[in-house]
Chains A and B, each alone.
Chain A
Amino acid sequence: QKEVEQNSGPLSVPEGAIASLNCTYSDRGSQSFFWYRQYSGKSPELIMFIYSNGDKEDGRFTAQLNKASQYVSLLIRDSQPSDSATYLCAVKGSSYKLIFGSGTRLLVRP
């Protein structure tokens, strides 16, 4: 079982729709959860982090965490073509290492 799992996609949504990106993790002792965005040919950049169960909102982005089910998700409201990128889920586990998923490629159609 992979430590951090993401669907590779591509996830294709029309402009203005809600994009929902999901991630599951195996380490029950994980405490910190991160979403990085990586444009093609560029380096990853942090867009959200969450520690507590529930929702955390920042502009058009909402991170959701459910520790009991061991999943974390990222919702992007009013998706724009500029949101087209690969989204990497990263989990800081009980070993304090940051473990990345393979990423989900998001395509927002104009």
Chain B
Amino acid sequence: ETGVTQTPRHLVMGMTNKKSLKCEQHLGHNAMYWYKQSAKKPLELMFVYNFKEQTENNSVPSRFSPECPNSSHLFLHLHTLQPEDSALYLCASSQPGTIAGELFFGEGSRLTVL
């Protein structure tokens, strides 16, 4: 248990559906992240929020829409996705300014787009 909880753990959706991924952290951290993990590829940083403000958007297509209502919650809204968007989506949190800047990851949401 890392203190970062993601729901749902598995999601299957059609290309015309709209769904959302949810992340909640109980660590008191002020930075939250969305990463995409595809087979045989490096973890790809998608979005970063520091103190609820988006500080990084790594050229992510607009069909992915993040939302951070407070420092403990992060959402990823999905609409009109493509089959190549099928991947494991990992949420992480960290405490800015710490020496290690360690990322604490959730267990991930496995997304399949049909």
Q: Choose among A2, A8, A42, A49 the residue that contacts B102 (Cβ–Cβ < 8 A).
A: A49
**Which secondary structure dominates chain B's binding surface?**
loop
Interface set of A (CB-CB < 8 Å, partner B): 2, 4, 8, 32, 34, 36, 42-46, 49, 88, 90, 92, 97-103
Interface residues on B, range: 10 to 19
Q: Enumerate B23-38 residues with CB–CB distance to A below 8 Å.
A: none
Task: Report the bound CA distance from A49 to B108 in whole Å.
Answer: 23
Q: Which of B12-20, B40-48, B61-69, B75-83 binds A?
A: B40-48
Q: Contacts of A4 on B, CB cut-off 8 Å?
A: 42
Q: Choose among A36, A44, A102 the residue that contacts B41 (Cβ–Cβ < 8 A).
A: A102
Pair B102/A46 contact, Cβ less than 8 Å: yes
Closest to A44 in B: B105
Q: Contacts of B11 on A, CB cut-off 8 Å?
A: none
Task: Report the bound CA distance from A46 to B56 in whole Å.
Answer: 22
Contact flag A43-B105 (CB < 8 Å), given A8-B40, A98-B45, A102-B42: yes
Pair A98/B40 contact, Cβ less than 8 Å: no
Q: Choose among B2, B101, B108 the residue that contacts A98 (Cβ–Cβ < 8 A).
A: B101
Q: Contacts of A92 on B, CB cut-off 8 Å?
A: 101
Closest to B39 in A: A102
Q: Contacts of B105 on A, CB cut-off 8 Å?
A: 43-45
Task: Report the bound CA distance from A46 to B103 in whole Å.
Answer: 8
Q: Choose among A32, A43, A98 the residue that contacts B90 (Cβ–Cβ < 8 A).
A: A43
Q: Contacts of A101 on B, CB cut-off 8 Å?
A: 42
Q: Contacts of A34 on B, CB cut-off 8 Å?
A: 100, 102
24 contacts across the A-B interface (CB closer than 8 A): A2-B42, A4-B42, A8-B40, A32-B100, A34-B100, A34-B102, A43-B2, A43-B90, A43-B105, A43-B108, A44-B43, A44-B90, A44-B103, A45-B105, A46-B102, A88-B43, A90-B43, A92-B101, A97-B45, A100-B42, A101-B42, A102-B40, A102-B41, A102-B42
